[in-house]
Amino acid sequence: MKRNLLILFLLLIVLSITACGKSEDPFIPKQTESKNENNDKSDTPTSGGDKRYLILYCSRTNNTERVAQTIRTILNCDILEVEPQIPYDNDYNSMLGRAQKELEEIRQGNYPEVKTSIDNFDNYDIIFIGYPIWYSSMATPMQSFLHKHASKLSGKQMALFATSGSSGIATSVSEAQSICSESIFIEQSLLLTSLTLPQMESRITEWLDRIGADREESDAPENSSLNINIKIGDRTITATMENNAAARDFLSRLPLEITLKDYNNITEKIFYPSPALTTEGVTRGCTPTPGDITIYVPWGNVAIFCKSWSHSNDLIKIGHINGNGIEALSIDGDIPVKIEQY
């Protein structure tokens, strides 16, 4: 009798385990009605002034997002984040495990769901595609997005940019070309690794110049509008500003009446604009010479150099004092000045 009860008990356990084993496959997220509704929803990119370009990006650690936002600042264009249907776990090892499984699924032709969708790309000249590199491949959400929109991207120019720890970009480029075989890929792609990410702004600017992507400036200043007067008592000296976003921001605030503070034994004359001048998307790096007007990015101050100084990646040049005008500022102490555009 006891033996029969034991057999019956074991049978119940086996049946219970079998029933549990019929639950959803852990490798494939369960589909729901609300998910399908979201998949059919079209997303609207955040709009910029220049409608020729669209930036699409996916990002988990924000590195790719930083690159995308820098490109957007330079081009003043539309931007949209590509998001997975199911967010990734914050735990790094868990995320890696999921990424490996999704990459293997894609090789079998099964793309994970993304909740981002766009109706058409007709009005854009170039579509920028940004993503992190996972195990040498394009991050799976972007692969899924391209697969989902391949027909809509037919004939469109595509420019790829990526971030990685140290992996190359070649495999991901091949993946994109395979998924969107009817698209036109710009030959030069941009890769920023952990070693080159600190030079992000300069590398992005150089890349955009190489591929011929520039900002549409309907109200670009004439050469004469880059000139300023600096009045020091009864004397007026002149300067010519650079044609970059930081210098244009400076010009937009004129006229200014300020006091230039002496810094480092007449090496620089400085002041602090409020709010700080824009520096996003502007190429950094300057070896200042006497007369250079610069921004020291970490502090946000404008520094007019009276003496030569060593190269700094934290300096942005926004102008230069003409002729020997810097001599008027190369004196001890603070100097009240009035700066006007002419």
- The reported pLDDT for the residue numbered 277 is 92
Confidence of residue 44 (pLDDT cuts 50, 70, 90): confident
Q: Is residue 65 pLDDT above 90, yes or no?
A: yes
Q: In the numeric block, which tokens belong to residue 162?
A: 């990526």
Q: What is the mean pLDDT of residues 1-18?
A: 44
Sort 88 into a burial class: Cβ within 10 Å, 0-12 / 13-18 / 19+: middle
pLDDT in the model for residue 38: 40
Residue 10 pLDDT > 90, yes or no? no
pLDDT tens digits, residue range 172-195? 999 999 999 999 999 899 999 999
Least confident of 160-169, 205-214, 220-229: 220-229
Domain boundaries, the chain: 41-211, 224-341
DSSP 198: G
Q: What is the mean pLDDT of residues 7-24?
A: 39
Name 128's Cβ contacts closer than 8 Å, sequence gap at least 6: 53, 54, 55, 56, 57, 68, 71, 158, 159, 160, 161
pLDDT above 50 (res 5): no
Helix axes of 200-211 and 63-75: crossing angle, nearest 10 degrees: 50
Name the pLDDT band for 25 (thresholds 50, 70, 90): very low
For the chain, what percent of residues have pLDDT higher than 90? Answer: 70
Is the confidence at residue 19, as pLDDT, over 60?
no
pLDDT at 149: 97
Q: Check if the beta carbon of residue 39 is closer than 8 Å to that of residue 115.
A: yes
Q: How far is CA 33 from the centre of its chain?
A: 34
pLDDT over 70 (residue 274): yes
Residues 289-310 have pLDDT tens digits of 999 999 999 999 999 999 999 9
Domain 41-211 has CATH 3.40.50.10310: no
Summarize pLDDT for 71-112 with one digit per residue, the tens: 999 999 999 999 999 999 888 889 889 999 999 999 999 999
Place 214 in a pLDDT band, splitting at 50, 70 and 90. Answer: confident
Question: What are the tokens at 295?
Answer: 């921004």
Outline where DSSP puts E strands in 151-291.
Answer: 157-164, 184-185, 190-193, 227-232, 235-241, 256-263, 268-271
| Stronger pLDDT, 27 or 215, i.e. the higher one | 215
Q: What is the CATH number of domain 224-341?
A: 2.40.100.20
Structure tokens at 157: 């120019």
The answer to whether 120 and 150 have CB atoms below 8 angstroms apart is no
Task: Please state, for a pLDDT cut of 70, what percent of the chain lies above it.
Answer: 85
Report helix, strand or coil for 129: strand
Q: How far apart are CA 114 and CA 228, in angstroms?
A: 52
Say which range, 4-13, 196-205, 319-328, has the weakest mean pLDDT: 4-13
- The DSSP code for 34 is H
